[in-house]
A and B are shown apart, each in its own frame.
Chain A
Amino acid sequence: MKRNLKPYVLLLPVMLVILGIFVSGLVMALIQSLGYFPVVGLKDITLKYYKEVLTDKSFLSSLSFSLYISFTSSIIAIIVGILLAYSILRSNKKERMEQIVYKLPIIVPHAVAALLMYNVLSQSGILPRILYNMGIISSQSEFPSLIFDNRGIGIILAYVWKEIPFIAMVVYTILSNINDKLSEVALNLGANKRQVFFHILLPLIMPSVFSAFIIIFAFSFGAFEVPYLLGPTAPKALPVKAYIEYNNPDLTHRPYSMVINMSLTFISIILVWLYHKSFKLISKYDG
């Protein structure tokens, strides 16, 4: 009896914060999305706003744009992040500068990351300048437009730049602490380095990678800063749409913002759940 309660007791403090504070906020958002916002005179509960938002054409294009950005950036970040972590491990010497400096982008806030991408990749950025001076391009406009473009390359790169070190750090922490001996055994049994990586190390870091993926995916799906600063005028990423509606000085627009936010949340939950399912199929080693 008492033992069965233990995990719940351990979860209590975190749950207090999440349920006590966070959910109270969420409930208000939900209510507002249903059109109840008495301070500004909206007092009827209605699904009208949902209908309006969800049937809007631009909603769908925004949704797919958001999904595309989050998926692409998260997957690239995962792959490169793991590669980086493994490379550091393989070229390993303890206490080297490299182990610290690669983490720098983690420290950089997303908004600054957007600024950096702008500095480097815009048509007046450092990259086209270098290409121009090397004679590879002859004018600014020859450089492909990566910022504000509707393929979202700038946004994706900003996310990728931010998240690679995050993934690498998480993976490296686990990787460097996985008992070296397991790799030794595998080598000894005739597995080459590549096989050791794919059959031993990768499965062992998979739970962490899985967590990390969810975190960065959910984050990039719901955050507005980067697409706001680097995104095209249309389609707008969903969070940007929500943000713009939220800041609409006409407060009766608040329910629209909340509808978009609730949709974002709902879609995220579905995706995370689906991901959980599919992950369980691939790996049986889930905590």
Chain B
Amino acid sequence: MKKRSLFFTVIMYSIIFLLLFPLVILFVWSFTKNWPWPNIVPKAFGLRAIKYVFSPTSKSLKTLLFSVWLSSVVTIITLFISIPAAKALGLYKFKGKRLFKLLILAPIIVPPVAVSMGIHVTFIRLGLANTFLGVVLMHIIPCIPYGVRILTNVFEIIGESMEMQARVLGANPYKTFFYITLPMISPGLVSAGSLIFIVSFSQYFTTFLIGGGKIVTFFMLMFPYIQSGDRMMASVYSLIFILTSLVLFVVIEKTVKAYYKAENYFYI
């Protein structure tokens, strides 16, 4: 039956190694005071950055928690509005479908600096600037393409027949959604959700503008260090950033899997 192929195992590990290697360096840099050429291991280690990040005056951890909360809200809302859109694009034929698909890509196609000013002005007008809600709304925009696109593909594959069956058995559209659609798309939801979270979690420019400094996210603390080339600080912040997301995703994936017993739901 399914034999593990040596060839593909080797390929897999090679690629994974290449992907992880830079992260190992990042980890080393988090504790590296200096590392002159041509040393393979750093000359001196230090805890300056770690100490700073964990010192209460830097507010890093508080900000981290807040960022996680903010991005979770963004993720949930984005998924919530992406699911119906993805369903429409994945299952139905209708006029203007192409145009809608393109429109949904727009936030990726148009560079954020181009639209941010107009949006900021609009948000000031609506009283959304410098508010949590404003930042959430702003974050949703670049997340939409990821959410909708991925879920559209999922809907294309699972089709509508299961939903129909549920409707026939007396489930109204809401129940159909919760009992049938949601569990069936749950693997896709996890993928899409992770991406959305990351996109939101690493928004910089727009958070500044719309949050006006009132809403401070973890990435905003971290980015200046990347720019200023303080590799130790940048590495520690990145490390925390990555670990937080990772832990979150693993937990969510496991929970969803346990809850929905997610397996091969996709019927063709």
Q: Do chains A and B touch in the complex (CB under 8 A)?
A: yes
Seen from chain A, the residues whose Cβ lies within 8 Å of a Cβ on chain B are 4, 6-15, 17-19, 21-29, 32, 80, 83-84, 86-88, 90-93, 98, 100-112, 114-117, 119-120, 124, 126, 128-130, 132-133, 140, 161, 164-166, 169-170, 173-174, 176-180, 182, 204, 207-208, 211-212, 214-215, 218-219, 221-224, 229, 239, 242-243, 246, 257-258, 261-262, 264-265, 268-269, 272-273, 276, 287
Contacts of A132 in B (CB 8 A): 37-38
The size bracket of the interface on B is 35 or more
A91→B19 contact, CB < 8 A: no
Contacts of B111 in A (CB 8 A): 222-224, 239, 242, 261, 264-265
Q: Can you report 30 A-B residue pairs in the complex whose CB atoms are below 8 A from each other?
A: A11-B89, A14-B144, A18-B104, A22-B141, A26-B115, A28-B115, A84-B11, A87-B9, A87-B15, A90-B4, A91-B4, A100-B249, A100-B250, A101-B16, A112-B226, A115-B26, A115-B231, A115-B234, A115-B238, A117-B22, A126-B40, A129-B40, A132-B38, A165-B19, A214-B149, A215-B105, A224-B111, A224-B113, A229-B226, A269-B102
Docked pose: A179 CA to B21 CA in angstroms? 34
Docked pose: A83 CA to B113 CA in angstroms? 35
Docked pose: A207 CA to B158 CA in angstroms? 13
Judged by a CB distance under 8 angstroms, whether B51 is at the interface is no
Contact with A along B196-228 (1 / 0, CB 8 A): 001001101000000000000001000100110
Contacts of B2 in A (CB 8 A): 92
Can you add 19 more A-B contacts, CB < 8 Å, to A108-B23, A109-B198, A115-B26?
A: A4-B94, A11-B84, A14-B84, A83-B11, A84-B16, A90-B8, A109-B202, A112-B241, A115-B231, A115-B234, A116-B22, A133-B40, A140-B37, A173-B150, A174-B154, A218-B109, A257-B114, A264-B111, A272-B105
Query: Among A19, A107, A164, A273, which residue has the most Cβ atoms of chain B within 10 A?
Result: A107
A258-B94 contact, Cβ under 8 Å, with A108-B238, A215-B108 = no
A107→B122 contact, CB < 8 A: no
A276→B107 contact, CB < 8 A: no
Report the minimal beta-carbon distance from A201 to chain B, rounded to whole angstroms: 12
